[in-house]
């Protein structure tokens, strides 16, 4: 089974919660092959939604590049950033965010939720389907008889909860379990916005595993990543 928890928790806390589980860091700080699951990983040639013929190095570059601020429009230069650094665009520098442009040359600005549904989720799904198939297969096979904890800086797995950043680890879990949010297939050609209506709301009554209430935020050491069944062969 696959669980999601915070990379900021102490190893001791995680071990007490998941005594027999494999702790798997899927952030940009991972030192194993799982770093390829990070939205910052520069796979290259990732199609930018609603932008025919335009590609980006990583998912985060797409997300940040299509942002529009009070003092700045889209930034296509980010689409070429392959360093995993200096990709985020700050409010302090660019002013209040106004939304995400629906395509590099689009005229429509998407609000945060719509941008998540129409830009982030389908772009990340494209990467999972086209760039990391081998890792997904190994995670799927291993999770049959092992407990795996995907460690992320964010643990919000509700795509409709915009009060917190979305956990990409939760999307990995959903994809491995063949339960990726419906209605988020890659949309490169402008489609009717009502496509969002096909997305099913997650079951709000389904209780998530109880997490530790510990407020300690020590980043876990890379050494706890054991049983590296996902490493490239």
**pLDDT (tens digit per residue) in 159-201:** 999 999 999 999 999 999 999 997 655 444 333 333 333 333 3
Q: Identify the pLDDT of residue 228.
A: 43
**How many distinct structural domains can be found in the chain?**
1
Residue 233 domain-assigned (yes or no): no
Q: Is 229 inside a domain boundary?
A: no
Q: Dump pLDDT digits (tens) for 49-95.
A: 999 999 999 999 999 999 999 999 999 999 999 999 999 999 999 99
pLDDT tens figures, 97-126 = 999 999 999 999 999 999 999 999 999 999
213 — pLDDT class (breaks 50, 70, 90): very low
| Statement: residue 33 has pLDDT above 60 | yes
Q: What pLDDT, on a 0 to 100 scale, did the predictor assign at position 184?
A: 57
**What integer pLDDT is reported at residue 182 of this predicted model?**
74
Q: Which of 98, 73, 97, 75 is nearest to 87 (CA)?
A: 75
- Note whether residue 92 is domain-resident: yes
d(CA 150, CA 6): 8
pLDDT exceeds cutoff 80 at 222: no
**Which candidate, 10, 22, 15, places its Cα nearest to that of 231?**
22
Residue 223 has pLDDT above 90, yes or no: no
**Residue 231 belongs to some domain of the structure:** no
Q: Is the dihedral of CA 137, 164, 56, 111 positive or negative?
A: positive
Within a domain: residue 230?
no
Q: Kindly state the average pLDDT of the residues 143-151.
A: 96
Find the radius of gyration of the CA atoms of the chain: 18
- What range does the domain containing 106 cover? 2-224
At residue 220 the predicted structure's pLDDT band, cuts being 50, 70 and 90, is very low
DSSP at 79: G
- Would you say residue 232 lies in a domain? no
| C-alpha–C-alpha distance, residues 9 and 129, integer Å | 30
Model pLDDT, residue 36: 98
DSSP of 100-131: EESSTT-SPEE-HHHHIIIIIHHHHHHHHHHT
Asked whether residue 134 is assigned to any structural domain, the reply reads: yes
Give the separation between CA 29 and CA 55, rounded to whole angstroms. 24
């Amino acid at each position: 089974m696959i669980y999601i928890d915070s990379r900021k928790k102490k190893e001791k806390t995680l071990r007490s919660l998941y005594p027999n589980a494999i702790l798997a860091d899927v952030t940009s700080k991972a030192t194993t092959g799982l770093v390829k699951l990070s939205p910052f990983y520069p796979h290259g040639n990732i199609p930018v939604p609603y932008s025919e013929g335009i590609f980006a190095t990583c998912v985060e570059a797409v997300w940040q590049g299509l942002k529009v601020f009070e003092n700045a429009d889209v930034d296509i230069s980010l689409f070429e950033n392959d360093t995993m650094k200096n990709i985020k665009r700050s409010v302090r520098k660019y002013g209040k965010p106004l939304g995400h442009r629906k395509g590099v040359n689009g005229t429509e600005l998407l609000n945060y939720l719509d941008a998540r549904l129409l830009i982030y989720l389908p772009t990340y799904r494209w990467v999972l389907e086209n760039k990391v198939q081998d890792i997904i297969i190994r995670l799927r096979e291993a999770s049959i008889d092992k407990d795996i904890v995907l460690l992320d800086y964010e643990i919000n797995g509700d795509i409709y909860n915009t009060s917190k950043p979305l956990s990409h680890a939760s999307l990995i879990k959903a994809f491995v379990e063949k339960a990726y949010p419906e209605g988020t297939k890659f949309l490169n050609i402008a489609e009717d916005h009502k496509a969002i209506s096909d997305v099913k709301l997650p079951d709000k009554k389904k209780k998530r595993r109880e997490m530790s209430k510990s407020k300690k935020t020590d980043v876990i050491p890379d050494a706890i990543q054991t049983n590296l069944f996902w490493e490239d062969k």
